[in-house]
A and B are shown apart, each in its own frame.
Chain A
Amino acid sequence: MNPIRSVCIAGAGAIGGLFAGHLGSLVDTKVLVRRQDHADRLNREGLRISGKSDLQTTVLASIEPAELDDVDLLIIATKAMAVESVAKCIAGHFDRAAVMTVQNGLGLEDVVAQYGDWPMISSITFMSGVRHSDVHIEYELDTETWLGPWNQRGASMNFAQAVAELIRNSGLRAKAFEDVRPAQWSKLVFNSVVNSIGAVTNLPHVKDFANREKITDLGNLVARMMDEGKAVARAQGIELYEDPWEMNVNAVNRGKTGEADYAHVFSMLNDVRAKRSTEVGWLTGAIVREAHRLGIAAPIHEVMYSLVKGIEQTWEPNDERRGEETAT
């Protein structure tokens, strides 16, 4: 018998929606969102999942944690930069719950742990979805979510296994690990490289990322940068679960039909195209900070982090003199 009888998902974007839409078919599922109209629509219409699953689920949604009863598991499924505001919002609530973070990037568990003494689950997810509306998510890539007790203030391994089992029973894929950091770091190194390069070059994940014939081929830059990331992981005793270069090669070959490139548009590139803040600080920037803390050189990461932050500056004109630029 699974000990988890009730869950709350904070954030109902693509990933949060996939968790809520699937878990809602199994257990009592609540959704904490930011907009009242989003909560109203979820309460009225429920959540529809299409694509790899076909589900219509009823959920209880609110913008106030006080309106949602305590739960056994709370999954924070927002973008990295929204995690702190969620943590502030749930502080003093959900006393019984364990909290699981699923963001890309490093250090989100620490952010949450400042706001309450919930036992924590670290996780990373490889699944993907397309958010068609506030109440409709398409389940796109049915790849796994990997989770395990946070190495600092973790929930028990038994509980982590129960979470993985619950997620599997709901129709998604999941696996529990004693130590999820090797997997987390594989994805971190992979993402900090390919997302930042995609954001700066405006390229989706095309074959260029694995080409290493000429000196100017992007694959050389990818490989050199991944070496920096791997060195940072190694310096803190983490043996990567997967080789990020292999992940890169597999990704550009996946779904290839004839000559057409498999062209996944990275989330960071989507953010840049939509002129939104990116997660670069939690990915590439996280590796820069860890490298600095450990006294390791990561010069290409510094270049890529600076360039993406520079791009963000183009739509954040907060310098007085920038006014002249638009005025003249």
Chain B
Amino acid sequence: MKICIVGCGAIGSLFAAHLAQLENVEVWAFDLDRRHVDAINANGLRLSGESSVLSYPRASSNPGDIPPCEFGIVATKSMHTQSAIENSAGIFKQGAVLTVQNGVGNEEIIAEYVPRVMRGTTFPAGHMVEPGHVAQDTGGKTWIGPFEAKPAAQEEIETLASLLTESGMETLAMEDARGAQWTKLIFNAATNPIGALTGLPHGVACDQPMLRKVISGLVAEGVAVAGALGITLDSDPDELVDHAREVAYLHKSSMLQDVLAKRATEVAAINGGIVKFGQEKGVPTPLNEAIWALINGLEHSWTRDDQ
């Protein structure tokens, strides 16, 4: 069994390192960061923090080096989905490809290049410590299921889920994984940009009554779009917001971390995803549109030299 991780950053490395511990699985990592690739090939891939793993996937920045694989797991930032799958599609001519990326819309892009696709949602998070070394910050489950328009077979989904679970990443095979994906999407769309635009940690933002109301407004738009798509959410995203306030009061959202580092954010796949599906279904999403435009504006401000 061969599995290739496409995009071996923090999240991709969590998957690659866990899976490479399995004896019957050959794990490859495709990543453009040559220092990370070289470090993995020289010394293995190390996880610290919530996990303690040292394993030996093989890594390359050249898709031509990688043999055909039964499974792919795409873990790039969402703005790189297109180029990543375009370059690596040859590896998956007979394979099924799972996305564990943020946002929505990645499955549609991947499906243009490979025969069978799985949608996925993952909660574990981590950050790169140095080339070849990633710290896992949080644990959590992963949900995977078919991408309806070009589905992977249910046996494939179950096979991959049990391999992941066996490797230490608890994964649930679903017949419909949209509920999990949209629950996380709506939560992220309502909370990430609020942190990114104000600079406030999650709990502090929630304690501002006006901001908390904006968060609920963003949630309501996402819930309406999910409803129009016929998706049953796993849980109430507004309750997740309050829960996160309790357990992650000082958490700075990944989008805030991107903004602080002046990196492009994933707003187009998150708030933009809700807007695009809303347009398709005729559901108005003015608040998500406003947030999307504001984040784009903020990203544009970094290209100016008047700061």
Q: Are B211 and A310 in contact (CB under 8 A)?
A: yes
* 0 or 1 for each of B181-216: is its CB under 8 Å from A? (1 = yes): 000000000000010011111011101101101100
Of A200, A206, A300, A303, the residue contacting B298 (CB under 8 A) is A200
Distance between Cα atoms of A228 and B294 in the complex (Å): 18
A-B contact count (CB 8 A): 110
Interface size class of A (residues with CB under 8 A): 35 or more
Chain A residues with CB below 8 A from B203, complex form = 321
Chain B residues with CB below 8 A from A224, complex form = 286, 290
Q: Are A221 and B197 in contact (CB under 8 A)?
A: no
Q: Are B293 and A220 in contact (CB under 8 A)?
A: yes
Q: Are A313 and B208 in contact (CB under 8 A)?
A: yes
Kindly report which residue of chain A lies nearest to residue B207, judged by CB atoms.
A319
Distance between Cα atoms of A166 and B221 in the complex (Å): 54
B250 interfacial contact with A, CB 8 Å: yes
Chain B residues with CB below 8 A from A321, complex form = 203-204, 249-250
Distance between Cα atoms of A306 and B217 in the complex (Å): 12
A325 interfacial contact with B, CB 8 Å: yes
Chain A residues with CB below 8 A from B296, complex form = 216, 218
Q: Are B204 and A322 in contact (CB under 8 A)?
A: yes
Q: Are A311 and B290 in contact (CB under 8 A)?
A: no
Q: Tell me whether chain A's interface is mostly helix, strand or loop, or mixed.
A: helix
Kindly report which residue of chain A lies nearest to residue B198, judged by CB atoms.
A310
Chain A residues with CB below 8 A from B293, complex form = 216-218, 220-221
Kindly report which residue of chain B lies nearest to residue A222, judged by CB atoms.
B293
Chain B residues with CB below 8 A from A200, complex form = 197, 294, 297-298
Q: Which of B268, B289, B293 has the most CB of A within 10 A?
A: B293
Given contacts A208-B300, A220-B293, A325 and B250 within 8 Å (CB-CB): yes
Q: Which of B194, B250, B294, B301 has the most CB of A within 10 A?
A: B294
A274 interfacial contact with B, CB 8 Å: no
* 0 or 1 for each of B278-290: is its CB under 8 Å from A? (1 = yes): 0000000011011
Q: Are A306 and B213 in contact (CB under 8 A)?
A: yes
Distance between Cα atoms of A215 and B272 in the complex (Å): 10
Distance between Cα atoms of A306 and B208 in the complex (Å): 8
Distance between Cα atoms of A216 and B271 in the complex (Å): 11
B23 interfacial contact with A, CB 8 Å: no
A91 interfacial contact with B, CB 8 Å: no
Q: Are B197 and A299 in contact (CB under 8 A)?
A: no
- Shortest B139–chain A CB gap in Å is 21
Q: Are A302 and B210 in contact (CB under 8 A)?
A: yes
Chain A residues with CB below 8 A from B197, complex form = 200, 307, 310-311
B275 interfacial contact with A, CB 8 Å: yes
Residues 277-315 of A at the B interface (beta carbon under 8 Å): 299-300, 302-303, 305-307, 309-311, 313-314
A162 interfacial contact with B, CB 8 Å: no
- Shortest A295–chain B CB gap in Å is 17
Chain A residues with CB below 8 A from B304, complex form = 203-204, 206, 263
Distance between Cα atoms of A310 and B202 in the complex (Å): 11
* 0 or 1 for each of B244-274: is its CB under 8 Å from A? (1 = yes): 0000011000000000000000001000100
A27 interfacial contact with B, CB 8 Å: no
B306 interfacial contact with A, CB 8 Å: yes
Chain B residues with CB below 8 A from A204, complex form = 304, 306
Kindly report which residue of chain A lies nearest to residue B279, judged by CB atoms.
A215
- Shortest A324–chain B CB gap in Å is 6
* 0 or 1 for each of A189-232: is its CB under 8 Å from B? (1 = yes): 00000000100111110101000000111101100100000000
Given contacts A200-B197, A314-B200, A302 and B298 within 8 Å (CB-CB): no
Q: Are A324 and B250 in contact (CB under 8 A)?
A: yes
Chain B residues with CB below 8 A from A220, complex form = 289, 293
Kindly report which residue of chain A lies nearest to residue B193, judged by CB atoms.
A307
Chain A residues with CB below 8 A from B286, complex form = 224, 299-300
B24 interfacial contact with A, CB 8 Å: no
Q: Are B199 and A208 in contact (CB under 8 A)?
A: no
Chain A residues with CB below 8 A from B306, complex form = 204, 263, 265
Kindly report which residue of chain B lies nearest to residue A263, judged by CB atoms.
B306
Distance between Cα atoms of A229 and B292 in the complex (Å): 21
Q: Are A201 and B297 in contact (CB under 8 A)?
A: yes
Distance between Cα atoms of A319 and B250 in the complex (Å): 12
Residues 85-133 of A at the B interface (beta carbon under 8 Å): none
Of B199, B207, B300, the residue contacting A203 (CB under 8 A) is B300
Kindly report which residue of chain A lies nearest to residue B292, judged by CB atoms.
A216
Chain A residues with CB below 8 A from B301, complex form = 201-203
Distance between Cα atoms of A191 and B289 in the complex (Å): 21
Distance between Cα atoms of A215 and B300 in the complex (Å): 15
Given contacts A215-B275, A220-B289, A307-B198, A202 and B307 within 8 Å (CB-CB): yes
- Shortest B252–chain A CB gap in Å is 9
Distance between Cα atoms of A2 and B207 in the complex (Å): 55
Q: Are A202 and B298 in contact (CB under 8 A)?
A: yes
Chain B residues with CB below 8 A from A313, complex form = 198, 200, 204, 208
Q: Which of B199, B214, B268, B275 has the most CB of A within 10 A?
A: B214
Could you pull out 9 A-B pairs where Cβ atoms are within 8 angstroms? A203-B297, A203-B304, A215-B289, A216-B292, A224-B286, A263-B304, A303-B217, A306-B208, A321-B250
Q: Which residues of A approach B to under 8 Å, CB–CB?
A: 197, 200-204, 206, 208, 215-218, 220-221, 224, 263, 265, 273, 299-300, 302-303, 305-307, 309-311, 313-314, 319, 321-322, 324-325, 328
